[in-house]
A and B are shown apart, each in its own frame.
Chain A
Amino acid sequence: MSAKIDPILLSVYARTFKSITDEMSISMEQTTRSPILCEAKDYVTGLYDGDGNMLEQTENLPILAFSLAPVCKYIKEYFGDEIYPGDVIFHNDVFSLGNQNNDVAAFKPVFLDDKLVAWTAVKGHQADIGGNVAGGYNPNAVEVWQEALRIPPVKVVERGKLRKDVWNLIFANVRLDIVQHDMKAEMGACTVGERRLLELLKKYGVDSYESHKQALFDATRKMMEAEISKIPNGNYSGEGYVYFDGRHVGSKFTIRVDIEVQDRHIKFDYSRTDAQTNGFVNGTFTSSASATILTLLQMVNPDIPHNEGMVQPIEIVIPVGTILNAAYPKATTFGNHLCPPNADAIQRALAPVMPDRVTAGWNNLLASLTTGIDPGNNEKYVDIGFMGLKGGSGGMLGTDGYDHIGMIDASGGVLDQDYEMFEQQTPHTLIKHELLPDSAGAGEWRGGLGVETIFEIGSDDTQLVTFGDGDFEPAFGLFGGGEGGLNFIRLNYPDGQTVVPKNKDLITGVPKGTVYHQVASGGGGYGNPKKRDRKLLREEVRNGVISKEAAMRDYGMTEADLK
Chain B
Amino acid sequence: MTLKIGIDVGGTFTDFVVTRDDAEPAIFKTLSTPSDPSIAVVNGLTDIAASMNPPQTLEAFAPGIDTIVHGTTVTTNATLTGTGAKCGLLTTEGVRDALEMRRGIREEQYNNRYTNVKPLVPRYLRAGIKGRLDRGGRETRPLDLDEVKQAIALFKQEGVQAVSICFMNSFANPVHEQTAAELVRREMPDAYLSVSTDLLPSIRFYERVSTTALNSYVGPKLNHYLDQLVGRLKGIGFKGLLLIMQSNGGVITPQLAREKAALTLLSGPAGGPGAGLFYVRPHGQNKCITTDMGGTSFEASVAVDAPMIKNDGEIARHKIALPMLDIHTIGAGGGSIGWLDEGGLLRMGPQSAGADPGPACYSKGGTLPATTDANVVLGYLDPGFFAGGKMQLDVAAARQAIEEHIAKPMGLSIEEAAAGMYRVACNNMAQGVREVTIKRGFDPREFPFIPAGGAGPIHSCLICQELEIPLQIVPRESSVLCAFGMLMSELKHDFVRTFVARFESIDWPQLTTIIDEMASEGARQLVEERIPEARRRYDVKLDCRYIKQYHEVSFLVPRELIAQRDTTAIARAFHAEHNRLYGYSLEQENTPIEIINVRVQAIGVTDKPAYREEAWADADAAHALKGKRSVYIPETKAFSEIPVYDGHAMRFGNRVDGPAMIEQETTAIFVSASFDCAVDSLGSFVLFQKGREDLCRSGFSPTAAKEPSMVSG
Contact = CB atoms under 8 A, between A and B. Distances in A.
A410 B550 CA distance: 20
Given A8-B420, A305-B343, A430 B168 contact: yes
Contact of A33 (B111, B412, B548): B548
Nearest to A227: B342
Contacts of A298: 110-112
B345 A396 contact: no
B113 interface: yes
Given A413-B109, A424-B203, A402 B116 contact: yes
Given A31-B582, A430-B168, A403 B94 contact: no
B210 to A, nearest CB: 11
B94 A431 contact: yes
Most buried by A among B94, B95, B586: B94
A419 B106 contact: no
B100 A435 contact: yes
A301 B581 CA distance: 36
A415 B97 contact: no
A419 B101 CA distance: 13
A378 B108 CA distance: 41
B104 A545 contact: no
B110 A302 contact: yes
Interface string A387-427: 10010010010111011111000111111101111011000
A429 B169 CA distance: 11
A33 B548 CA distance: 7
A22 B330 CA distance: 15
A16 interface: yes
B123 A222 contact: no
Interface string B328-368: 00000000000001111111000000000000000000000
B168 A8 contact: no
Contacts of B423: 8, 12
B632 interface: no
B94 A430 contact: yes
B615 interface: no
A400 B115 contact: yes
B410 interface: yes
A405 B583 CA distance: 33
A175 interface: no
A405 B106 contact: yes
A14 B345 contact: yes
Contact of B123 (A7, A30, A454, A543): A543
A451 interface: yes
B103 A415 contact: yes
Contacts of A399: 112-113, 115
Interface in B542-582: 546, 548-551, 581-582
B612 interface: no
A420 B203 contact: yes
Contacts of A16: 427, 431
Contacts of B345: 7, 10-11, 14, 219
B206 interface: yes
A414 B549 contact: no
Nearest to A377: B502
Interface in B405-461: 410, 412, 419-420, 423-424, 427-428, 431, 434-435, 438-439
Nearest to A40: B550
Contacts of B114: 402
B124 A544 contact: yes
Contacts of A19: 431, 434-435
A38 B134 contact: no
Interface in B187-241: 203-207
A39 B168 contact: no
B149 interface: no
B584 interface: yes
B601 to A, nearest CB: 24
Given A11-B346, A430-B168, A434-B97, A62 B427 contact: no
Given A30-B551, A301-B342, A411 B98 contact: no
A421 B498 CA distance: 12
A431 B132 CA distance: 10
A38 B468 CA distance: 31
Contact of B342 (A38, A178, A223, A406): A223
Contacts of B205: 418-420
A19 B583 CA distance: 19
Given A7-B412, A396-B113, A435-B97, A545 B346 contact: no
Contacts of A226: 342
Most buried by A among B122, B206, B347: B206
A434 B115 contact: no
A297 B108 CA distance: 12
A399 B106 CA distance: 14
A223 B341 CA distance: 9
A220 interface: yes
A420 B166 CA distance: 12
A359 interface: yes
B343 A418 contact: no
A230 to B, nearest CB: 11
Nearest to A18: B431
A38 B550 contact: yes
A169 B612 CA distance: 67
A528 B140 CA distance: 47
A7 B420 contact: yes
Nearest to A429: B134
A329 to B, nearest CB: 33
Contacts of A434: 94-97
Contacts of B93: 432
A416 B103 contact: yes
A313 interface: no
B608 interface: no
A423 B169 contact: yes
Contact of A406 (B104, B111, B203, B582): B104
Interface in A345-373: 359
B104 A432 contact: no
Interface string A44-73: 000000000000000100100000000000
A412 B97 contact: no
Given A418-B103, A543-B124, A544-B124, A403 B116 contact: yes
Given A393-B112, A424-B203, A429-B134, A11 B431 contact: no
B670 interface: no
Contact of B582 (A30, A178, A410): A30
B583 A415 contact: no
A294 B116 CA distance: 21
A419 B168 contact: yes
A252 interface: no
Given A411-B106, A418-B207, A433-B94, A303 B342 contact: yes
Interface string B234-259: 00000000000000000000000000
Contacts of B347: 11
Contact of A411 (B110, B344, B548): B110
A166 interface: no
B533 interface: no
B206 A8 contact: no
B146 interface: no
B549 A38 contact: yes
B124 A12 contact: no
Nearest to B341: A303
27 contacts: A8-B424, A15-B427, A16-B431, A27-B582, A27-B583, A31-B584, A33-B548, A33-B549, A297-B110, A298-B112, A387-B103, A393-B112, A405-B106, A411-B109, A411-B110, A416-B101, A419-B206, A423-B135, A424-B135, A429-B132, A432-B95, A433-B95, A433-B97, A434-B94, A434-B95, A434-B96, A454-B94
6 closest cross-chain pairs (CB), A and B: A412-B106, A219-B343, A8-B420, A543-B123, A432-B94, A411-B109
Given A23-B434, A429-B132, 18 more contacts: A8-B423, A30-B581, A31-B582, A188-B583, A302-B111, A387-B104, A402-B116, A406-B104, A412-B106, A413-B105, A413-B109, A416-B206, A421-B203, A421-B204, A424-B203, A429-B140, A454-B94, A544-B124
